[in-house]
Amino acid sequence: MIAQAMVPMPSEPTAAELAELLERQRAAYQRLGPPSFAQRRATLARLRAAVLERQDALAAAIAADFGRRPRQESLLAEIYPLASSLRYTLRHLKSWMRERRVPVSMELWPGRAYVRAQPLGVVGIISPWNYPVQLALLPLIAALAAGNRVLLKPSEVTPLSSAALAELLGAVFPPEEVAVVQGGPAVGQAFAQLPLDHLFFSGSAAVGRHVMRSAAHRLTPVTLELGGKSPALIAPDARLDAAAASILYGKLLNAGQTCIAPDYVLVPAPLEADFVRRARDAAARMFPRFAGNPDYTAIVNERHWRRLNGYLEDCRAKGGEVVPLSAGQETPDAAGRILPPALILRPTPDMAVMQEEIFGPLLPVVPYGTLEEAVAFINARPRPLALYLFTESAAHRDTVLGRVVAGGVTVNDTLLHFSAEGLPFGGVGASGMGAYHGQYGFETFTKRQPIFRQARFNLTGLVRPPYGRKFDALVRWMIGGK
């Protein structure tokens, strides 16, 4: 067990110092202009080399922040997505930057129209604690690919990871290009109030509301990557063993501290007991024990530990059944913040686990009668960030996907839509707005500038005053009248 480090916070910048840093970046952008393709490619290559060189140090910082998190999990869930994104971006960046010719109607001939990808300027990123490296650097990659300068505010909940990010980025970039701002909630609030050209926030819906209010004062455009209650829906024809294994993996990665983790599972009522048995078998295969198991992640801090244990107490008090998934009936380890996973049977709508995003290794199991009832259950709640559907039937798949609006979907597995660089990642409704990953991230931090270039010899003069019969005839032709 690694003891969670007590790290002194760096001195927090004032609002005036934040504004000065922003102006330094804006002045540099105005002086030097947007970077060329070659410059952007070199920038991303430097970042890639730095991440790969420091991957073990980054994993160690994350483990120290959490108290226990396996190196392998951090390499898979933090470093791999960054390496994948950088490879994909470097491969496709030139085509994303290319000007696009747009056809014009006959009456605008011989003018020409095209669309140019223009950087927004200086963008801000506020990143969360649950994947403190990946969720900071993925939007940074997109912003740099789009040609912007970036202010990054990582989470104060994981201070060693934030310090490691500041050291890494400080070694690669001058502060006029990328700067890391460290501090607590007050710094975050001042950061969100800066007159940025775009603000990207990942975190909880509650904090997202505050961020949006702060940004609204300046009319700063925002992308919000939030969370919510992502359902796993098991259709009657699903392969139950495979579904249970996938759902438990998606739930137990990072001990459930994942914004797209399955938050509850809908299972046909006749299959509920069978699902419980298979879920316990799946958990035992991955984690024969939880106490002292280096493959299982700790809860990040005492506040979240108390919150999750409060959910368990609330479930028991309201008549729910808590079914441990640990083979030896292990009890929670408060000193190490190790919470063995559990299923919640007979959850009721008034339970906290059915009202709030769980963000931990607890999984309510909701039995249903018909597929239509399951769809209605999902649609009666805020739109989720992710939907996981398990079915072998094309008809069931089309029914569910046609009626449920979700931020993203994985069919017959969990989490994997996040890893597909060609897919947009983002929420809908209460789970967020906007998207990133791959070209979608490039577009988020880009202004598609429409440009019409007039030819030297043109017909514009024919529609200027004074009006007369020639004008009337020309306008009738343009409109299509007789």
Annotation says 225 is catalytic: yes
Half-sphere exposure of 409 (CA within 13 A, CB side): 16
Catalytic residue among 225, 330, 357, 443: 225
Tokens of 368: 């249903």
Tokens of 464: 């200027």
Alpha-carbon distances, residue 59 vs 8, 78, 244 (angstroms)? 20, 8, 29
Residues near 387 by beta carbon (within 8 Å), at least 6 away in sequence: 230, 231, 233, 378, 400, 404, 406, 408, 409, 410
According to DSSP, the residues that pair with 149 across neighbouring strands are 122
DSSP letter assigned to residue 75: I
The one-letter amino acid at 471: F
Q: Residue 145 in contact with residue 441, Cβ under 8 Å?
A: yes
DSSP 367-383: EESSHHHHHHHHHTSPP
Count CB-CB contacts under 10 A for residue 263. Answer: 28
Annotation says 259 is catalytic: yes
Alpha-carbon distances, residue 288 vs 168, 295, 300 (angstroms)? 37, 10, 22
CA dihedral 430, 434, 440, 443 (to 10 degrees): 180
**Beta strand ranges found along 190-341 (DSSP E):** 198-202, 222-225, 231-234, 264-268, 321-324
According to DSSP, the residues that pair with 362 across neighbouring strands are 342
Q: Residue 431 in contact with residue 228, Cβ under 8 Å?
A: yes
Q: Residue 134 in contact with residue 78, Cβ under 8 Å?
A: yes
Q: Which of 255, 266, 229 has the alpha carbon at shortest distance from 358?
A: 229
Q: Which of 186, 168, 169 has the alpha carbon at shortest distance from 178?
A: 169
Beta strands at 362-368 and 264-268: parallel, antiparallel or unpaired = parallel
Catalytic residue among 73, 177, 259, 443: 259
Beta strands at 222-225 and 198-202: parallel, antiparallel or unpaired = parallel
CA dihedral 206, 208, 212, 214 (to 10 degrees): 80
**Beta strand ranges found along 10-110 (DSSP E):** 100-102
Q: Which residues are catalytic?
A: 225, 259
